[in-house]
Amino acid sequence: MAKKNGVDRSEWSRQVHIAINKALRGEQTQIKSAGPKSTVIILRSKDRQAAKDRVTQALKDEKIVEKKDAPGDGQVDHHVKHALSAFPATKVNLVDKSWIYIVYKGLHQGKVSTVVAESTQCVFGALAMRVNKNGSLKENEICATDWAKAYPYCDIPQLPKEKAVKMCEQLNDEWIISNTIGANVMKEDKHIAGGPDYKFHRGSKTVNEIYKCFAAIKKANKKMHPRLDVDQNKWSPADIYLINDKWGPDNIKKALANCKDIAVLNQQMQTWLDEKNVIGVSLKKMVGTPPVGNAKIVLKNEVGDKDNLEVKFVKLESPTNSTSGYMHIKVDNEIKRINFRNFTDAGGFSGEVLTAGGAARHGKIGHGPINKVLQLHKLGTIDDNNPGRAKAHKSGKWMRTTMKNLGFFSVGDDQKAWEDTIPQSSMNFASSKYFVLQLFEIINPLTVEQKDALADSFYRYAGSIIPDLSAPYLKMS
């Protein structure tokens, strides 16, 4: 029988299988598929990199040599791209010209918090632009040592290096792909490429100097400029900032010292963006195939740019058994909807802009800001959260009458039976419907021009594109 390194092929193959069994001992594994040419084993763990390190060492202990250590004779490749995971897989070549894949997956594939999403995007961005300067970042070639190298080019004070790297290691496939695409599209964008060496900031002292300036302007001027009474994120929804690595808090503070008006502050933000020294970026979960998928970056609120956006009111709608009320609008001839509803069981009444198909694409306007916009248009307001929730279950008759007046019941609906369900319905349903109907009762009798103006304000507030207020920033989508 043919031999390999002086050992029968059958014996060599047996040793490889024994080595793999030892390497996977104690791990949470599943055989995904087993065919004549390949076997795919899924290994799940809280920390994919640590699990992979254990497998790597165990195979090495059993003399199953990695290709990089023995290019002409190595049997293992730990940097293989596999369709089942964005994290690099291990491929073990067998002497019968078949192979075994070990695919690493996390234990949890659920939601990622805002802190994790934004902080890890900083690390991926720094990896693409400060460590791997040549070419695009590849999602299947990233490991813990890469993230550790990228961390010094980030300023995310709430996350020490070890914790930030751990967050990156524990990302699921969707977020590894999203962050990889995000990093690559930033690297290639015309507003960023060719600039200085950047540091990636989230919640840093340097960024805080910018928001301190906005807060001071808001406090001094909001009585004269009512639209200034907004959350800082509606002034600038940037989630992270790319800032010249040579600049710190003192540079920003000095440059903003004479900014006493929102127009002056926005002009400074535009100048910094044009000079590629301070760039705010609003993030979004990216989908598609790296390097950049279908992602793009668009400059929003450019100072001096002519605003040709046209928003028109279309109609109101609220299905009887839905917590939602929809304001249909036309934005530059594209139909969108603002979905008003409770977004949590405790309340959270807000309006979220949806595009065709129901996907959220343009941000939210919260309960308080809805009332502020109504006040700016000299209209009545809806109840605050707690008073509204206290009234909701007792307001079945009013809700039924309002539903009827707004034309929301369908032919054949038993309106009295619907009214009778309100006291027994969940707090989420009753209060959400109550707020929707309060809001729509205000809107319905307005003139066409008033409805258009209100729709325009709601839409612009949700998207942080408020005229003469919102700062320039880059929006990733």
| Shared domain check, 298 and 176 | yes
- Which residue would you say has higher pLDDT here, 53 or 430? 430
Kindly tell me the sign of the dihedral angle through the C-alpha atoms of 9, 15, 18, 22: negative
| Final residue in a domain of this structure, among 106, 139, 164 | 106
Is position 472 within any domain?
Answer: no
Query: How far is residue 262's CA from residue 247's CA, in Å, rounded to a whole number?
Result: 23
Distance in angstroms (rounded) separating the CA atoms of residues 143 and 168? 9
414 and 346 in a common domain: yes
Reduced to 3 states (helix: H, G, I; strand: E, B; else coil), residue 390 is helix
Residue 87's pLDDT is 80
Do 134 and 192 belong together in one domain?
yes
Pair 102, 232 in one domain: no
Q: Provide the residue count of the chain.
A: 477
The pLDDT value given to residue 25: 84
Cα 169 to Cα 24, 87, 334: the distances in Å are 20, 9, 40
Q: Are 138 and 290 in contact (CB under 8 A)?
A: yes
Q: Which domain CATH number covers 72?
A: 3.30.460
State pTM to two decimals.
0.80
Asked whether residue 140 carries a pLDDT value surpassing 80, the answer given is no
Residues 274, 368 share a domain: no
Give the Å distances, CA to CA, from 249 to 9, 245, 246, 326.
65, 11, 10, 44
407 and 458 share one domain: yes
169: domain range?
112-305
CB atoms within 10 A of CB 21: 11
Question: Does 325 lie in the same domain as 378?
Answer: yes
- Tell me the DSSP string of 441-467: HHHTTS-HHHHHHHHHHHHHHHTT--T
| Residue 7's pLDDT band (cuts 50, 70, 90) | very low
Question: What distance lies between CA 5 and its chain's CA centroid?
Answer: 52
Asked if residue 216 and residue 130 are part of one domain, the reply reads: yes
Q: Locate tokens 């087993």: which residue?
A: 34
| 187 in Cβ contact with 193 (< 8 Å) | yes
Q: How many domains does the chain have?
A: 3
Q: DSSP class of residue 313? A: E
Q: How many C-alpha atoms does 194 have within 13 Å on its Cβ side?
A: 6
* Structure token pair of residue 348: 């959270």
Give the β-pairing of 99-106 and 38-45: parallel
Q: How confident is the model at residue 64 (pLDDT cuts 50, 70, 90)?
A: confident
Residue 82: inside a domain, yes or no? yes
Q: 3 pLDDT band (50/70/90 cuts)?
A: very low
Looking at residue 160, its pLDDT comes to 93
249 or 226, which is more confident: 249
> pLDDT of 196-217, one tens digit each?
999 999 999 999 999 999 999 9
